[in-house]
Amino acid sequence: MSTKDSPERARAALDGPAPRVLVILAPYYADVVGGMVRGARGVLAEVGATIDVADVAGAYELPAALRMALRRGGWDGFLLLGCVVRGETDHYTFICEAVCQGVMDLSVETGAPLGFGLLTVDTIEQAVARSRDDRMNKGAEAAHALVQQIALARRFAS
């Protein structure tokens, strides 16, 4: 799908108080993840979110950091952002599968509102294309998903 064919998202909307969001970053590819953060911040600003940020060493550490944050509490939702680029070994496959399964397990177990923006790409060029300041930005997409999950959690809590 080309950029011109990608869906245009509506502005983020959320009833109730501005949410407090923890953004957990795996900034191994700092420029790419930085672009995703810019996209996410724009979406979260639309709902007045307060943002806390925590960095981890790499994508593999994202689920454990999420678990630690869930135990501490105090946030309305969590946004995980990172990037894994395929290399010449099976390492990519093992990391991607472990991280995705770990995050999914925590999501299902806890029901915590999550936005998951882990780029799993073949080339750095693909990652850059998904972190630009346009509507293909996967950080913004993950933030939109998070806002929707927070809204759903509030709806079910009332």
Confidence tier at 6 by pLDDT (50, 70, 90): low
* Annotated binding-site residue numbers: 28, 59-61, 83-85, 88-89, 116, 130
Residue 144 annotated to the active site: no
* CA separation for the pair 134, 116 (Å, rounded): 18
Look up residue 149 and give its DSSP letter: H
* Single-letter amino acid code for the residue at 58: G
CB crowding 111-150: b at 16 or more within 10 Å, else e: ebbbbbbbbbbeeeebbbbbbbeeebbbbbbbbbbbbebb
On whether the CB atoms of residues 113 and 146 are closer than 8 A, the answer is yes
Domains of the chain: 27-157 (3.40.50.960)
Binding-site positions for (2S)-2-hydroxy-3-oxobutyl phosphate read: 88-89, 130
Instruction: Please choose, from the candidates 28, 16, 47, 34, the residue with its C-alpha nearest in 3D space to the C-alpha of residue 137.
Output: 34
CA trace torsion 105, 106, 107, 108 (10° rounding): 50
Please report, in range form, the residues annotated as the binding site for 5-amino-6-(D-ribitylamino)uracil.
Answer: 28, 59-61, 83-85, 116
Task: Please identify which of the residues 3, 31, 91, 155 carries the catalytic annotation.
Answer: 91
As a whole number, the mean pLDDT across the chain is 94
pLDDT tens, position by position, 16-64: 999 999 999 999 999 999 999 999 999 999 999 999 999 999 999 999 9
Distance CA 58, CA 91 (A): 13
In this structure, what token pair is assigned to residue 97? 């599968």
